Amino acid sequence: MPDDIVGQGKLFDEQETGNEPTGETEQITYDRKKKKGIAKRKTLEVSMPEHLERVEQIIEPDQKQDDSKRIGEFVTEILEYKPAELFIRKIIRPKYATKSGEVIIAPMPELPLPKANVGASLLAKMIIDKFADHLPFYRQLKRFKREGVVIAASTYNGWYRQVCELLEPLYETLVKHTLDTDYLKADESPIPVQTSDKKGATHKGYQWVYENPVKKIIAFQYHKSRSKEAPDEMLKNFKGALQTDGYAAYNHFEKEKKIKLLACMAHARRKFDEAKSNDKVRSEHVLLLIQQLYAIERKAKEDDLGQKEKYQLRQIESVPILNELQAYLLKQKDKVVPQSAIGKAISYCLNQWHKLIRYTENGKYDIDNNSIENKIRPLALGRKNYLFAGSHESAQRTAMMYSFLGTCALNDVNPEKWMEQTISKIATHSANKLYELLPGKVV
């Protein structure tokens, strides 16, 4: 089967959370008071959006008589589902002959793939099903077959590749606008890729992700390795602040003095959370201080503070807590075993310290990288239906699609509607105004 269709595995490695079982058992007993009478079952309600179509069902009582007078009604709204259905758009263009002998016919509407009998709505559905809902192509084809529609795998895969070619200029525009800032976030995640080097084996490539928090754009870019070559190429013209998880591939940027590195407080916090089983007292003391830092950030968000006001708030409230935290870490450093979980957590935090506190220097900066992680995880993880890329080219096409869907998520844009509209318009849209098609209409 073509490389974009076959293959299931993990698109990105899922991070496991929680503690590992220890294997120890203990018996727990407790008393429970029995409730008197029969407890009422709790009603599970869902809000009924106003934009949904209402299909009325009127149920008349059997006892109704001809002279009965209607005095009111009880209305109950039930949320139902009607499966999506394929249909054929039949374009009829009448042909006419004028009195002068001229034959006239209306021009054919612009189609996204002129040589393919498929519309923008189905192409959009194909992409959303695969990349947002993690339904591989071969499963999509099985679903169509159940409806009596047989589409060859090669045809379906060909449609996808042509759509990618159609959207590639828009992806390049998205990357350009992502980098048009002085504040970026970056992260990277592994992706298994099939290669011809060894039959049945996969290559461990990486999706490098860059977020522009101000313009709300995310750009994925595939690279065969996790080496510094990937960010070097992507960020060769970037100047400003770059926030990462502390991965060493970014460290050399600071020496060049054109990029200021910021660290992620959430990563530092995670290490102390993991160290609680090793040293509960020290870990929880640090976690409490970090919790206070996040409380300040929540306050700034709830009060909708601007960058200047957020900077002032951090200087007054956050900086003293950070000073207290640093003093505590320095004091405890020589009292713990370096290779222990708490020792590693303290060392990591102190080594990253100058980067961890830089978020207080500008109200534009965030305290952590959570926004980029939270946005890419729902798109990148298919839970039980992971895919691996069939080739390096396929992995880059995947990067393009996740860039579009990630940016839709950041801007609260319906990805399927956006994809359908974009596929319909892009062929005739002005090349120097492609930014108008980006989710959120980034300028």
* Helix (H/G/I), strand (E/B), else coil: 221: strand
Residue with more model confidence, 43 or 165:
165
What pLDDT, on the 0 to 100 scale, is given for residue 199?
66
Question: How many Å apart are CA 325 and CA 159, to the nearest integer?
Answer: 56
- Residue 123 belongs to what H/E stretch? helix 120-131
Residue with more model confidence, 206 or 346:
346
pLDDT tens track for 268-303: 999 999 999 999 999 999 999 999 999 999 999 999
Question: Which residues pair with residue 184 across a beta bridge?
Answer: 242
**Residue 331, CB-side half-sphere exposure with 13 Å CA sphere:** 8
Question: How many Å apart are CA 423 and CA 157, to the nearest integer?
Answer: 16
pLDDT tens track for 47-91: 778 888 888 888 888 888 888 888 888 888 877 767 677 888 898
Residue 155: pLDDT band by 50, 70, 90 thresholds?
A: very high
Residue 247: pLDDT band by 50, 70, 90 thresholds?
A: confident
78-87, 254-263, 341-350: range with lowest mean pLDDT: 78-87
Contact yes or no for 406/220 (Cβ under 8 A) = yes
What pLDDT, on the 0 to 100 scale, is given for residue 34?
52
Mean pLDDT, residues 347-362 = 96
Question: Which residues pair with residue 185 across a beta bridge?
Answer: 211, 243
pLDDT tens track for 162-171: 999 999 999 9
Question: How many Å apart are CA 123 and CA 420, to the nearest integer?
Answer: 7
Residue 44: pLDDT band by 50, 70, 90 thresholds?
A: low
What pLDDT, on the 0 to 100 scale, is given for residue 1?
43
Contact yes or no for 149/330 (Cβ under 8 A) = no
Question: How many Å apart are CA 205 and CA 10, to the nearest integer?
Answer: 12
Contact yes or no for 206/376 (Cβ under 8 A) = no
Residue 19: pLDDT band by 50, 70, 90 thresholds?
A: very low
Question: How many Å apart are CA 153 and CA 141, to the nearest integer?
Answer: 7
Residue with more model confidence, 242 or 53:
242
Mean pLDDT, residues 392-413 = 91
Residue 414: pLDDT band by 50, 70, 90 thresholds?
A: very high
Question: How many C-beta neighbours within 10 Å does residue 171 have?
Answer: 22
Residue 198: pLDDT band by 50, 70, 90 thresholds?
A: low
Mean pLDDT, residues 392-396 = 86
The values of phi and psi at residue 318, to 5°, are -80, -45
Highest mean pLDDT among 135-149, 232-246, 277-291: 277-291
What pLDDT, on the 0 to 100 scale, is given for residue 20?
39
Mean pLDDT, residues 107-124 = 88
**Global pTM value:** 0.79
Tokens 């005739």, residue?
A: 428
- The pLDDT of residue 317 is above 60: yes
